[in-house]
Amino acid sequence: MNTQTHSTPRIWLVIGDKLGDNAQAKMIADRLGLPYETRRLLPREKYVLGKPRFRISLEHLDMQRSDPLQAPWPDLVITVGRRHAMAALWIKAQNPATRVVLLGRPRRWIEKFDLVITLPQYHVPERPNVMRLSLPLMRADKAAIARESDAWRARFETLRKPLIAVLVGGPTRPYRFDAGVTAELLASCRDLQTRYGASLYISTSRRTPAAVTATLRNQLPGHAVLHEWTRDAQDNPYRALLGLADYFVVTSDSVSMMVEVADCGKPLAIFSLPADLKGRLWQRILVRLHGRNRHGPMAGIYHWLGGLLYASGVAGFARDLGELQHRLVDQGFAVWSGEPFMQTTQALPDELAEVANRIRALVDADAR
């Protein structure tokens, strides 16, 4: 039983190994202005990239390397992502009084979460416990960028200016990222080199497939540097690039990289990955089943069928990264790759105060 008084709620921030997710959840916890404890949970090796079936369970976690989950249980859990949502519901199962705030989209059991803070790319239906943001909360760590820029400055000084950073992610359903798409990315970057008389600094990431990295290495243009991400690398140029590069090309799969470049006010071009037909069709089916704007004579049937398939874990809420990409472009934070770079003149919206108010309302309701 949780013996902590309501005047000082016990708050757990449940995070893991994804830096972008962790940063967003921590921003929310910090903005509350209340003390909190961090519980870092790491996945078993097979689920570092693999996706476990969504269950109320800890079986997908490596609890030998993770922080312990034990009483006294928290009054409030703030978490993000599939793996940690499962753990948060497990905590709630141990102590039903625990409130759970999830950033993202619930794969199942949306009704079990006390607040779902969802993002533009997720087609989550309208519900009293759902709060929508106009853009993701992730922001660049300006102090870390300044430190890394100083550390890397000498290595960048030999490169021809201006410097175009090319930040490479990896495939994510329904988008395809293979050697052929990589060749198209390089062709687009060569065009930019010619247009701006620039050098390229290409940096891969954890999700970049080996075939993509090999194509980048084998077809690397002149006046270009390739940094290949490895798990045991001692340093990473990413933050230094955020501080020192003049222009950015980011592959459309990476929400965190696109948003952090926009937050730094740097000219951003989005390289759109192509979607495979099967994945796009499934995405459209999910939107029809769970979409917020259902209408017509079949709306009731879609609603019933969508609820049944969601509860069984067969058909979750759709994710469409195109929604986020178009929002960044439409609001003047980015252009499409191939178009001239554009300098943004505005800051990303700050919605943290509204998020904090919604969460404090949960805590205050329990205190009454």
Strand segments, DSSP code E, in 16-71 are 37-40
The CATH number corresponding to 142-274+321-336 among 1.20.140.10, 3.40.50.720, 3.40.50.2300, 3.40.50.2000 equals 3.40.50.2000
Instruction: Return the beta strands (E) in the chain as ranges.
Output: 11-15, 37-40, 76-80, 99-103, 115-118, 130-132, 163-167, 199-203, 224-227, 247-251, 268-271, 335-336
pLDDT of residue 5: 45
> What pTM does this model have?
0.82
Residue 13 predicted with pLDDT over 60: yes
Would you list the domain boundaries of the chain? 11-138+351-367, 142-274+321-336, 277-311
For position 315, what pLDDT does the model report?
A: 60
Burial 103-135 (b: 16+ CB within 10 A, else e): bbbbbbebebbbbbbbbbbbbbbeeebbbebeb
3 state DSSP class of 40: strand
> Quick check: do 11-138+351-367 and 142-274+321-336 share a fold?
yes
Token pair belonging to 206: 């954890």
* Domain 11-138+351-367, second-level architecture: 3-Layer(aba) Sandwich (3.40)
Give, as one character, the DSSP assignment of residue 50.
Answer: S
- Determine the Cα–Cα distance for residues 352 and 360; give it in Å rounded to an integer: 12
In the structure, what pLDDT confidence band is assigned to residue 59 with cuts at 50, 70 and 90?
very high
Q: What pLDDT sits at residue 3?
A: 44
Give pLDDT, residue 320: 80
